[in-house]
Chains A and B, each alone.
Chain A
Amino acid sequence: MKGLKFGGDMYVVLIYDIEVDDNGAKASRNIFKICKKYLTHVQKSVFEGDITPALLQQLKLELNKHIRENRDSVIIFKSREERWMQKEFWGKEDDKTSNFF
Protein backbone atom coordinates (compact mmCIF):
# COMPACT_ATOMS: atom_id res chain seq x y z
CA MET A 1 0.00 0.00 0.00
CA LYS A 2 2.53 2.49 1.19
CA GLY A 3 4.79 2.08 -1.79
CA LEU A 4 1.99 2.76 -4.19
CA LYS A 5 0.93 5.97 -2.56
CA PHE A 6 3.42 8.21 -4.29
CA GLY A 7 4.73 8.74 -7.77
CA GLY A 8 3.33 9.07 -11.28
CA ASP A 9 -0.04 10.65 -11.59
CA MET A 10 -3.12 11.42 -13.63
CA TYR A 11 -6.32 13.23 -13.04
CA VAL A 12 -9.59 11.39 -13.39
CA VAL A 13 -13.29 12.04 -13.21
CA LEU A 14 -15.36 9.01 -12.27
CA ILE A 15 -19.10 8.81 -12.70
CA TYR A 16 -21.36 5.88 -12.06
CA ASP A 17 -24.88 4.82 -12.74
CA ILE A 18 -26.38 2.08 -10.64
CA GLU A 19 -29.60 0.38 -11.59
CA VAL A 20 -32.18 0.82 -8.83
CA ASP A 21 -33.54 -2.65 -8.20
CA ASP A 22 -33.49 -5.15 -5.33
CA ASN A 23 -29.74 -5.06 -4.83
CA GLY A 24 -29.26 -1.62 -6.27
CA ALA A 25 -29.10 0.24 -2.97
CA LYS A 26 -26.46 -2.11 -1.65
CA ALA A 27 -24.31 -1.93 -4.77
CA SER A 28 -24.59 1.81 -4.86
CA ARG A 29 -23.62 2.13 -1.21
CA ASN A 30 -20.57 -0.07 -1.61
CA ILE A 31 -19.38 1.63 -4.74
CA PHE A 32 -19.81 5.00 -3.10
CA LYS A 33 -17.76 3.99 -0.08
CA ILE A 34 -14.94 2.54 -2.16
CA CYS A 35 -14.67 5.56 -4.45
CA LYS A 36 -14.46 7.85 -1.42
CA LYS A 37 -11.17 6.29 -0.40
CA TYR A 38 -9.47 7.26 -3.62
CA LEU A 39 -11.21 10.32 -5.00
CA THR A 40 -13.07 13.40 -3.86
CA HIS A 41 -16.83 13.21 -3.89
CA VAL A 42 -17.99 16.23 -5.88
CA GLN A 43 -21.59 15.46 -6.84
CA LYS A 44 -24.15 12.72 -6.27
CA SER A 45 -22.44 10.05 -8.32
CA VAL A 46 -19.39 11.96 -9.45
CA PHE A 47 -15.89 11.73 -8.07
CA GLU A 48 -12.67 13.33 -9.16
CA GLY A 49 -9.05 13.67 -8.19
CA ASP A 50 -5.39 12.88 -8.72
CA ILE A 51 -4.52 9.22 -8.78
CA THR A 52 -1.70 6.95 -9.87
CA PRO A 53 -2.21 4.26 -12.52
CA ALA A 54 -1.50 1.58 -9.91
CA LEU A 55 -4.07 2.92 -7.50
CA LEU A 56 -6.61 3.32 -10.26
CA GLN A 57 -6.11 -0.34 -11.01
CA GLN A 58 -6.60 -1.13 -7.35
CA LEU A 59 -9.79 0.94 -7.31
CA LYS A 60 -11.00 -0.97 -10.33
CA LEU A 61 -10.34 -4.31 -8.65
CA GLU A 62 -12.22 -3.20 -5.56
CA LEU A 63 -15.15 -1.91 -7.58
CA ASN A 64 -15.37 -4.98 -9.79
CA LYS A 65 -16.64 -6.97 -6.84
CA HIS A 66 -19.69 -4.76 -6.63
CA ILE A 67 -20.44 -3.66 -10.16
CA ARG A 68 -23.16 -5.88 -11.58
CA GLU A 69 -22.43 -6.57 -15.19
CA ASN A 70 -25.16 -5.51 -17.64
CA ARG A 71 -26.76 -3.34 -15.00
CA ASP A 72 -24.34 -0.87 -13.53
CA SER A 73 -21.86 1.27 -15.34
CA VAL A 74 -18.87 3.26 -14.25
CA ILE A 75 -17.17 5.72 -16.55
CA ILE A 76 -13.68 7.10 -16.02
CA PHE A 77 -12.51 10.21 -17.82
CA LYS A 78 -8.76 10.39 -17.74
CA SER A 79 -6.57 13.40 -18.12
CA ARG A 80 -2.82 13.72 -17.81
CA GLU A 81 -2.98 16.50 -15.27
CA GLU A 82 -5.54 18.65 -13.56
CA ARG A 83 -4.41 21.81 -15.29
CA TRP A 84 -5.12 20.29 -18.68
CA MET A 85 -8.72 19.86 -17.77
CA GLN A 86 -10.79 22.97 -17.91
CA LYS A 87 -13.34 22.94 -15.16
CA GLU A 88 -16.25 25.33 -15.09
CA PHE A 89 -19.00 25.80 -12.61
CA TRP A 90 -22.42 26.76 -13.80
CA GLY A 91 -24.43 27.81 -10.83
CA LYS A 92 -22.99 27.24 -7.42
CA GLU A 93 -19.25 27.05 -7.25
CA ASP A 94 -17.62 24.89 -4.62
CA ASP A 95 -14.14 23.84 -3.69
CA LYS A 96 -14.73 20.28 -2.63
CA THR A 97 -11.41 19.13 -4.03
CA SER A 98 -9.43 21.57 -1.88
CA ASN A 99 -7.03 20.09 0.62
CA PHE A 100 -7.73 22.92 3.06
CA PHE A 101 -10.62 22.78 5.47
Chain B
Amino acid sequence: MSESFYLFSDGELKRKDNVLRMTAPDGNFKDIKVNMTRDIYLFGEVSLNTKTLNYAGQLSLPIHIFNYYGFYTGSFYPKETNVSGNLLVEQVNHYTNEEQRLIIAKEFIEAASYNILRNLRYYNERERDLESSISEIKGLRNEIKRTSDIHSLMGVEGSIRKVYYNCWTSIINQEVDFEKRVKRPPDNMVNTLISFVNSLVYTSCLTEIYVTQLNPTISYLHSPGERRFSLSLDISEIFKPLISDRIIFSVLNRNMITEKDFERDSNYYYLKDGGRKKVLKEYDECLNRTIKHKELGRNVSYRHLIRLECYKLIKHLIGDKKYEGFKIWW
Protein backbone atom coordinates (compact mmCIF):
# COMPACT_ATOMS: atom_id res chain seq x y z
CA MET B 1 0.00 0.00 0.00
CA SER B 2 1.37 3.40 -0.85
CA GLU B 3 1.61 6.14 1.73
CA SER B 4 0.90 9.78 2.16
CA PHE B 5 3.71 11.72 3.75
CA TYR B 6 2.93 14.52 6.17
CA LEU B 7 5.83 16.91 6.64
CA PHE B 8 5.46 19.36 9.51
CA SER B 9 9.07 20.31 9.86
CA ASP B 10 10.52 23.44 8.35
CA GLY B 11 13.38 22.88 5.98
CA GLU B 12 14.28 21.89 2.51
CA LEU B 13 12.75 19.35 0.18
CA LYS B 14 15.27 18.21 -2.34
CA ARG B 15 15.95 15.52 -4.84
CA LYS B 16 18.72 13.30 -3.59
CA ASP B 17 19.79 9.86 -4.79
CA ASN B 18 16.55 9.55 -6.78
CA VAL B 19 14.37 10.05 -3.76
CA LEU B 20 12.94 13.19 -2.24
CA ARG B 21 14.70 14.17 0.94
CA MET B 22 13.28 16.50 3.53
CA THR B 23 16.03 18.06 5.60
CA ALA B 24 15.18 19.93 8.80
CA PRO B 25 17.28 22.93 9.88
CA ASP B 26 18.96 20.78 12.55
CA GLY B 27 20.25 18.39 9.90
CA ASN B 28 17.77 15.62 10.58
CA PHE B 29 16.35 14.26 7.40
CA LYS B 30 13.69 11.97 6.09
CA ASP B 31 13.92 10.14 2.80
CA ILE B 32 10.61 9.73 1.03
CA LYS B 33 10.42 6.43 -0.78
CA VAL B 34 9.06 7.93 -3.96
CA ASN B 35 7.90 4.74 -5.60
CA MET B 36 5.63 3.98 -2.69
CA THR B 37 4.31 7.47 -2.15
CA ARG B 38 0.85 8.61 -3.08
CA ASP B 39 1.11 12.28 -2.19
CA ILE B 40 2.98 14.68 0.05
CA TYR B 41 1.50 17.20 2.49
CA LEU B 42 3.57 20.22 3.47
CA PHE B 43 2.66 22.06 6.67
CA GLY B 44 5.96 23.68 7.57
CA GLU B 45 7.96 26.37 5.92
CA VAL B 46 9.61 24.39 3.18
CA SER B 47 11.83 25.51 0.36
CA LEU B 48 11.95 23.46 -2.75
CA ASN B 49 13.31 24.03 -6.21
CA THR B 50 12.13 23.24 -9.69
CA LYS B 51 14.28 20.16 -9.69
CA THR B 52 12.13 18.82 -6.89
CA LEU B 53 8.94 19.74 -8.69
CA ASN B 54 10.16 18.24 -11.93
CA TYR B 55 10.97 15.03 -10.16
CA ALA B 56 7.61 14.98 -8.40
CA GLY B 57 5.97 15.64 -11.75
CA GLN B 58 7.86 12.80 -13.34
CA LEU B 59 6.68 10.49 -10.59
CA SER B 60 3.08 11.78 -10.82
CA LEU B 61 3.23 12.81 -7.22
CA PRO B 62 0.85 15.58 -6.11
CA ILE B 63 2.14 17.90 -3.38
CA HIS B 64 -0.48 19.57 -1.19
CA ILE B 65 0.47 22.80 0.53
CA PHE B 66 -0.97 24.32 3.70
CA ASN B 67 -0.22 27.74 5.14
CA TYR B 68 0.91 28.75 8.59
CA TYR B 69 -2.64 28.59 9.91
CA GLY B 70 -3.19 25.12 8.53
CA PHE B 71 -5.44 26.32 5.74
CA TYR B 72 -5.14 24.60 2.43
CA THR B 73 -3.50 26.87 -0.11
CA GLY B 74 -3.10 24.65 -3.11
CA SER B 75 -1.56 21.66 -4.74
CA PHE B 76 1.24 21.00 -7.10
CA TYR B 77 -0.80 18.99 -9.55
CA PRO B 78 1.49 17.15 -11.97
CA LYS B 79 0.74 17.10 -15.64
CA GLU B 80 -2.16 14.79 -16.40
CA THR B 81 -0.95 11.52 -17.80
CA ASN B 82 -4.18 9.60 -17.63
CA VAL B 83 -6.22 11.53 -20.10
CA SER B 84 -9.17 10.47 -22.11
CA GLY B 85 -10.72 12.78 -24.68
CA ASN B 86 -13.85 10.68 -24.87
CA LEU B 87 -14.46 10.90 -21.18
CA LEU B 88 -13.83 14.63 -21.16
CA VAL B 89 -16.44 15.12 -23.85
CA GLU B 90 -18.90 13.03 -21.86
CA GLN B 91 -18.08 14.91 -18.69
CA VAL B 92 -18.83 18.20 -20.39
CA ASN B 93 -21.97 16.84 -22.04
CA HIS B 94 -23.36 15.78 -18.72
CA TYR B 95 -22.59 19.20 -17.38
CA THR B 96 -24.14 21.26 -20.15
CA ASN B 97 -27.29 19.20 -20.27
CA GLU B 98 -29.16 20.60 -17.31
CA GLU B 99 -31.23 17.46 -16.87
CA GLN B 100 -28.29 15.13 -16.85
CA ARG B 101 -26.31 17.41 -14.61
CA LEU B 102 -29.15 17.37 -12.11
CA ILE B 103 -29.24 13.57 -12.08
CA ILE B 104 -25.64 13.41 -10.92
CA ALA B 105 -25.90 16.35 -8.54
CA LYS B 106 -28.98 14.83 -6.88
CA GLU B 107 -27.15 11.60 -6.41
CA PHE B 108 -24.37 13.44 -4.56
CA ILE B 109 -26.82 15.10 -2.17
CA GLU B 110 -28.87 11.96 -1.84
CA ALA B 111 -25.81 10.02 -0.72
CA ALA B 112 -24.34 12.79 1.40
CA SER B 113 -27.56 13.29 3.31
CA TYR B 114 -27.98 9.57 3.77
CA ASN B 115 -24.56 9.44 5.35
CA ILE B 116 -25.42 12.41 7.52
CA LEU B 117 -28.50 10.53 8.74
CA ARG B 118 -26.32 7.55 9.48
CA ASN B 119 -24.19 9.67 11.79
CA LEU B 120 -27.20 11.11 13.54
CA ARG B 121 -28.78 7.70 14.00
CA TYR B 122 -25.58 6.43 15.57
CA TYR B 123 -25.62 9.17 18.19
CA ASN B 124 -29.36 8.94 18.62
CA GLU B 125 -28.91 5.37 19.74
CA ARG B 126 -26.41 6.69 22.27
CA GLU B 127 -28.93 8.81 24.11
CA ARG B 128 -28.47 12.12 22.38
CA ASP B 129 -32.15 12.50 21.50
CA LEU B 130 -31.84 13.66 17.92
CA GLU B 131 -35.17 12.15 16.90
CA SER B 132 -36.73 15.42 15.76
CA SER B 133 -33.72 16.43 13.67
CA ILE B 134 -33.63 13.00 12.09
CA SER B 135 -37.24 13.22 10.97
CA GLU B 136 -36.67 16.76 9.78
CA ILE B 137 -33.79 15.65 7.61
CA LYS B 138 -35.80 12.70 6.36
CA GLY B 139 -38.48 15.14 5.29
CA LEU B 140 -35.97 17.34 3.56
CA ARG B 141 -34.48 14.35 1.78
CA ASN B 142 -37.84 13.71 0.14
CA GLU B 143 -37.58 17.11 -1.45
CA ILE B 144 -34.35 16.25 -3.20
CA LYS B 145 -36.22 14.26 -5.82
CA ARG B 146 -38.67 17.06 -6.38
CA THR B 147 -36.14 19.78 -7.08
CA SER B 148 -35.97 20.80 -10.70
CA ASP B 149 -32.80 22.87 -10.79
CA ILE B 150 -29.40 23.02 -9.16
CA HIS B 151 -30.22 26.18 -7.29
CA SER B 152 -33.11 24.71 -5.33
CA LEU B 153 -31.15 21.51 -4.83
CA MET B 154 -28.41 23.53 -3.19
CA GLY B 155 -31.10 25.14 -1.06
CA VAL B 156 -32.28 21.76 0.18
CA GLU B 157 -28.70 20.79 0.85
CA GLY B 158 -28.21 23.97 2.85
CA SER B 159 -31.26 23.27 5.00
CA ILE B 160 -30.13 19.70 5.65
CA ARG B 161 -26.72 20.93 6.74
CA LYS B 162 -28.25 23.53 9.00
CA VAL B 163 -30.34 20.95 10.83
CA TYR B 164 -27.31 18.68 10.97
CA TYR B 165 -24.97 21.27 12.40
CA ASN B 166 -27.57 22.17 14.99
CA CYS B 167 -27.20 18.68 16.41
CA TRP B 168 -23.47 19.00 16.89
CA THR B 169 -23.56 20.63 20.30
CA SER B 170 -25.49 17.67 21.66
CA ILE B 171 -23.25 15.14 19.91
CA ILE B 172 -20.06 16.69 21.20
CA ASN B 173 -19.38 16.09 24.88
CA GLN B 174 -17.12 19.08 25.33
CA GLU B 175 -18.46 22.53 25.96
CA VAL B 176 -18.39 24.16 22.54
CA ASP B 177 -19.89 27.37 21.29
CA PHE B 178 -20.67 25.98 17.88
CA GLU B 179 -23.76 27.65 16.54
CA LYS B 180 -23.36 27.68 12.84
CA ARG B 181 -20.82 26.93 10.21
CA VAL B 182 -18.53 29.88 9.66
CA LYS B 183 -15.75 29.86 7.12
CA ARG B 184 -13.08 32.34 6.17
CA PRO B 185 -12.03 32.62 8.90
CA PRO B 186 -13.55 29.97 11.15
CA ASP B 187 -14.43 31.57 14.48
CA ASN B 188 -14.28 28.73 16.97
CA MET B 189 -12.89 25.30 17.74
CA VAL B 190 -15.45 23.24 15.84
CA ASN B 191 -15.44 25.46 12.77
CA THR B 192 -11.68 25.38 12.65
CA LEU B 193 -11.70 21.60 12.85
CA ILE B 194 -14.34 21.33 10.14
CA SER B 195 -12.33 23.58 7.84
CA PHE B 196 -9.14 21.69 8.44
CA VAL B 197 -10.42 18.15 8.08
CA ASN B 198 -12.65 19.05 5.14
CA SER B 199 -9.66 20.45 3.31
CA LEU B 200 -7.88 17.16 3.92
CA VAL B 201 -10.78 15.22 2.44
CA TYR B 202 -10.71 17.59 -0.49
CA THR B 203 -7.03 16.89 -1.14
CA SER B 204 -7.51 13.14 -0.83
CA CYS B 205 -10.33 13.26 -3.36
CA LEU B 206 -8.09 15.29 -5.61
CA THR B 207 -5.30 12.74 -5.36
CA GLU B 208 -7.72 9.96 -6.22
CA ILE B 209 -9.28 11.88 -9.10
CA TYR B 210 -5.81 12.47 -10.41
CA VAL B 211 -5.24 8.75 -10.85
CA THR B 212 -8.43 8.36 -12.84
CA GLN B 213 -9.21 9.87 -16.22
CA LEU B 214 -11.69 12.35 -14.80
CA ASN B 215 -11.07 16.03 -15.26
CA PRO B 216 -11.13 17.60 -11.79
CA THR B 217 -12.41 20.99 -12.93
CA ILE B 218 -15.75 19.86 -14.33
CA SER B 219 -18.24 19.34 -11.57
CA TYR B 220 -21.98 18.86 -11.24
CA LEU B 221 -23.14 19.99 -7.86
CA HIS B 222 -20.75 22.85 -7.32
CA SER B 223 -20.37 25.22 -10.19
CA PRO B 224 -17.18 24.52 -12.07
CA GLY B 225 -15.60 27.77 -11.05
CA GLU B 226 -12.26 29.13 -11.97
CA ARG B 227 -9.13 28.32 -10.06
CA ARG B 228 -10.32 25.28 -8.22
CA PHE B 229 -10.91 21.61 -8.74
CA SER B 230 -14.61 21.58 -8.04
CA LEU B 231 -15.20 17.92 -8.87
CA SER B 232 -13.15 17.30 -5.78
CA LEU B 233 -15.67 19.32 -3.79
CA ASP B 234 -18.53 17.30 -5.25
CA ILE B 235 -17.02 13.99 -4.30
CA SER B 236 -15.83 15.10 -0.89
CA GLU B 237 -19.43 16.07 -0.10
CA ILE B 238 -20.28 12.36 0.06
CA PHE B 239 -17.35 11.42 2.24
CA LYS B 240 -17.38 14.29 4.69
CA PRO B 241 -19.93 12.67 7.03
CA LEU B 242 -18.05 9.39 6.99
CA ILE B 243 -14.56 10.79 7.31
CA SER B 244 -14.33 14.34 8.61
CA ASP B 245 -17.40 14.56 10.82
CA ARG B 246 -16.69 11.27 12.52
CA ILE B 247 -13.09 12.24 13.14
CA ILE B 248 -14.17 15.55 14.65
CA PHE B 249 -16.72 13.89 16.96
CA SER B 250 -14.21 11.30 18.00
CA VAL B 251 -11.27 13.60 18.76
CA LEU B 252 -13.50 15.96 20.72
CA ASN B 253 -15.42 13.31 22.62
CA ARG B 254 -12.26 11.53 23.64
CA ASN B 255 -10.80 14.88 24.70
CA MET B 256 -7.88 14.34 22.37
CA ILE B 257 -8.37 17.87 21.13
CA THR B 258 -9.38 20.62 23.52
CA GLU B 259 -9.32 24.41 23.58
CA LYS B 260 -5.63 24.15 24.50
CA ASP B 261 -4.83 22.95 21.00
CA PHE B 262 -6.00 26.19 19.46
CA GLU B 263 -4.68 29.67 19.27
CA ARG B 264 -6.32 32.93 18.45
CA ASP B 265 -4.44 35.34 16.28
CA SER B 266 -6.12 38.62 15.35
CA ASN B 267 -9.05 37.25 13.40
CA TYR B 268 -7.90 33.68 12.96
CA TYR B 269 -8.74 30.80 15.19
CA TYR B 270 -6.34 28.06 14.34
CA LEU B 271 -5.04 24.66 15.34
CA LYS B 272 -1.58 24.59 16.82
CA ASP B 273 1.02 22.27 15.40
CA GLY B 274 0.53 19.58 18.02
CA GLY B 275 -3.21 19.52 17.49
CA ARG B 276 -2.80 19.43 13.77
CA LYS B 277 -0.56 16.40 14.09
CA LYS B 278 -3.03 14.58 16.29
CA VAL B 279 -5.86 15.21 13.86
CA LEU B 280 -3.75 14.17 10.89
CA LYS B 281 -2.79 10.94 12.58
CA GLU B 282 -6.46 10.17 13.08
CA TYR B 283 -7.13 11.12 9.50
CA ASP B 284 -4.42 8.89 8.11
CA GLU B 285 -5.60 5.97 10.20
CA CYS B 286 -9.17 6.56 9.16
CA LEU B 287 -8.36 6.47 5.47
CA ASN B 288 -6.39 3.26 5.88
CA ARG B 289 -9.21 1.58 7.77
CA THR B 290 -10.76 -1.18 5.74
CA ILE B 291 -14.20 -2.64 5.42
CA LYS B 292 -15.50 -5.59 3.48
CA HIS B 293 -17.02 -4.37 0.26
CA LYS B 294 -20.35 -5.96 -0.48
CA GLU B 295 -20.15 -6.02 -4.24
CA LEU B 296 -16.44 -6.52 -4.63
CA GLY B 297 -16.29 -9.11 -1.87
CA ARG B 298 -12.93 -7.96 -0.62
CA ASN B 299 -11.56 -5.55 1.92
CA VAL B 300 -11.18 -2.00 0.74
CA SER B 301 -9.85 1.01 2.58
CA TYR B 302 -11.86 4.17 3.10
CA ARG B 303 -9.46 5.87 0.75
CA HIS B 304 -10.15 3.30 -1.91
CA LEU B 305 -13.86 4.00 -1.56
CA ILE B 306 -13.11 7.47 -2.89
CA ARG B 307 -11.42 5.99 -5.93
CA LEU B 308 -14.32 3.62 -6.48
CA GLU B 309 -16.60 6.64 -6.43
CA CYS B 310 -14.60 8.11 -9.32
CA TYR B 311 -14.87 4.87 -11.24
CA LYS B 312 -18.62 4.71 -10.69
CA LEU B 313 -18.90 8.24 -11.98
CA ILE B 314 -16.90 7.32 -15.07
CA LYS B 315 -19.18 4.37 -15.70
CA HIS B 316 -22.17 6.66 -15.49
CA LEU B 317 -20.65 9.22 -17.83
CA ILE B 318 -19.82 6.70 -20.52
CA GLY B 319 -23.28 5.18 -20.16
CA ASP B 320 -22.18 1.89 -18.68
CA LYS B 321 -23.99 1.90 -15.38
CA LYS B 322 -26.14 4.44 -13.62
CA TYR B 323 -24.28 6.28 -10.88
CA GLU B 324 -25.32 5.66 -7.35
CA GLY B 325 -23.61 7.68 -4.66
CA PHE B 326 -21.77 5.91 -1.89
CA LYS B 327 -23.90 5.14 1.13
CA ILE B 328 -22.53 3.83 4.38
CA TRP B 329 -23.75 0.26 4.60
CA TRP B 330 -22.31 -0.85 7.88
Contact = CB atoms under 8 A, between A and B. Distances in A.
Interface of A: 1-2, 5-6, 9, 32-33, 36-41, 49-52, 55, 58, 99-101
B18 A101 contact: no
A37 B19 CA distance: 6
B2 interface: yes
B152 interface: no
A43 B91 CA distance: 49
Nearest to A11: B1
Contacts of A5: 2, 35-36, 38, 60, 211
Interface stretch (B176-184, B276-284, B310-318): B276-284
Nearest to A96: B30
A32 B59 CA distance: 20
Among A33, A37, A41, A101: residue with most chain B CB under 10 A: A101
Q: Is the interface of A mostly helix, strand, loop or mixed?
A: mixed
B281 to A, nearest CB: 7
B7 interface: yes
B277 A2 contact: no
B18 A37 contact: yes
B18 A9 contact: no
A32 B17 CA distance: 9
B123 interface: no
Interface in B1-55: 1-9, 17-19, 22, 24, 30-31, 33-36, 38
Contacts of B280: 100
A60 to B, nearest CB: 13
B173 interface: no
Contact of A38 (B8, B33, B82): B33
A52 B24 CA distance: 30
Contact of A36 (B3, B7, B8, B31): B31
14 contacts: A1-B59, A1-B60, A5-B35, A6-B2, A9-B1, A36-B31, A38-B35, A39-B33, A39-B36, A41-B31, A52-B1, A55-B35, A100-B8, A101-B8
A51 B35 CA distance: 9
Those 9 A-B pairs whose CB atoms lie nearest each other, nearest first: A9-B1, A101-B30, A37-B35, A33-B17, A99-B3, A2-B60, A50-B1, A38-B35, A99-B5
Contacts of B6: 99-101
A2 B35 contact: no
B213 to A, nearest CB: 12
B148 interface: no
B104 to A, nearest CB: 25
Interface string B298-309: 000000100100
B33 A101 contact: no
Contacts of B60: 1-2, 5
A38 B36 contact: yes
A39 B2 CA distance: 11
Nearest to B5: A99
Given A36-B18, A100-B5, 20 more contacts: A5-B2, A5-B36, A5-B60, A5-B211, A6-B1, A32-B17, A33-B17, A36-B19, A36-B31, A36-B33, A37-B33, A37-B34, A41-B31, A50-B36, A51-B36, A99-B5, A100-B8, A100-B277, A101-B5, A101-B22
B36 A36 contact: no
A90 to B, nearest CB: 23
B81 interface: yes
A23 to B, nearest CB: 19
A99 to B, nearest CB: 5
A100 B281 contact: yes
Contact of A49 (B18, B33, B307): B33
Contacts of B18: 33, 36-37
Nearest to B28: A101
